């Protein structure tokens, strides 16, 4: 897909005229990252907006002992990095490619120029920030009030909705994810997540295939258990 056609499908850029799109493309850089490579690290200067053209990226906060909390996973068409561009503060988390990824980058000056007078783009930015804040609130609520098994169950349902592919009466979560990464998503240890997954496998609700998870009984997964 050509860059102009791709960007026209990204909600942030829906309202651009053909002339404005050409001007934007003239100021965009494309960079590829290998799986596991960091696009940026916490504390770095935030000087670019990222739009994913291919691949997936996780936003994480790591601890000194190597544990991490995954705040979000972005895929094709998603944009991120706008917070540092808007407030001028350093990056608040790491961004890491979870598969080979290609991004389009727009620097701060061009990003601000793009926003000036573009009401639709400003609305898209505000909507994005609001949704991400709500997700953070949900994560904090789950950590406080749900046990680990329930957090794992809920996260699998969310991943199935975002990345699920229906295959032969089952749903494959089309995302390579380690138990450590899943633990980072639910705010738990790898060992406790492994135990929860084992119970779900023994009940025939899921199976694991390499780094991917297949859901065999979605209705049973949806049921809460004490």
In this prediction, residues 44-48 reach a mean pLDDT of 91
> Minimum mean pLDDT among 30-34, 65-69, 88-92, 136-140: which range?
65-69
Q: pLDDT, tens digit, for every residue of 179-209?
A: 889 999 998 999 999 999 999 999 999 999 8
Q: Are 27 and 106 in contact (CB under 8 A)?
A: yes
Tokens representing 23?
Answer: 């001007």
Note whether 96 and 58 are within 8 A (CB): yes
Q: CB neighbours (10 Å) of residue 88? A: 11
List where CATH 1.10.10.10 sits in the chain: 147-222
Q: What is the pLDDT of residue 23?
A: 85
Determine the distance from the C-alpha atom of residue 7 to the mean position of all C-alpha atoms in its chain, rounded to a whole number: 18
Interstrand relation of 38-40 and 79-80 (parallel, antiparallel or unpaired): unpaired
Burial category of 153 from C-beta neighbours within 10 Å (exposed 0-12, middle 13-18, buried 19 and up): buried
pLDDT digits (tens, 9 = 90+) for 130-175: 888 898 888 888 888 999 999 999 999 999 999 999 988 899 999 8
Tell me the three state secondary structure of residue 64: coil
CATH 2.60.120.10 residue spans of the chain: 3-143
Topology annotation, domain 3-143: Jelly Rolls (2.60.120)
Where does 147-222 sit in CATH, by number? 1.10.10.10
Cβ-contact 74, 135 below 8 angstroms = no
Average pLDDT estimate for 48-75: 89
């Amino acid at each position: 897909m050509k860059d102009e056609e791709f960007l026209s499908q990204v909600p942030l850029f829906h309202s651009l005229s053909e002339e404005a799109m050409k001007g934007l493309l003239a100021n965009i850089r494309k960079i590829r990252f290998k799986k596991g490579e960091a696009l940026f690290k916490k504390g770095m200067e935030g000087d670019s907006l990222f739009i994913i053209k291919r691949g997936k990226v996780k936003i994480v906060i790591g601890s000194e002992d190597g544990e991490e909390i995954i705040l979000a996973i972005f895929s094709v068409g998603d944009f991120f990095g706008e917070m540092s561009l808007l407030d001028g503060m350093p990056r608040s988390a790491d961004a890491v490619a979870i598969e080979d990824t290609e991004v389009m980058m727009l620097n701060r000056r061009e990003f601000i120029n793009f926003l000036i007078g573009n009401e639709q783009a400003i609305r898209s930015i505000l909507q994005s920030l609001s949704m991400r804040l709500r997700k953070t609130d949900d994560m904090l609520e789950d950590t406080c009030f749900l046990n680990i098994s329930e957090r794992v169950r809920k996260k699998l349902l969310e991943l199935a909705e975002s990345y699920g592919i229906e295959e032969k009466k089952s749903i494959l979560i089309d995302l390579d994810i380690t138990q450590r990464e899943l633990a980072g998503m639910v705010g738990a240890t790898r060992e406790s997540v492994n135990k929860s997954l084992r119970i779900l496998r023994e009940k025939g609700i899921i199976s694991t295939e390499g780094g991917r998870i297949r859901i065999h009984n979605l209705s049973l997964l949806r049921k809460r258990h004490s």
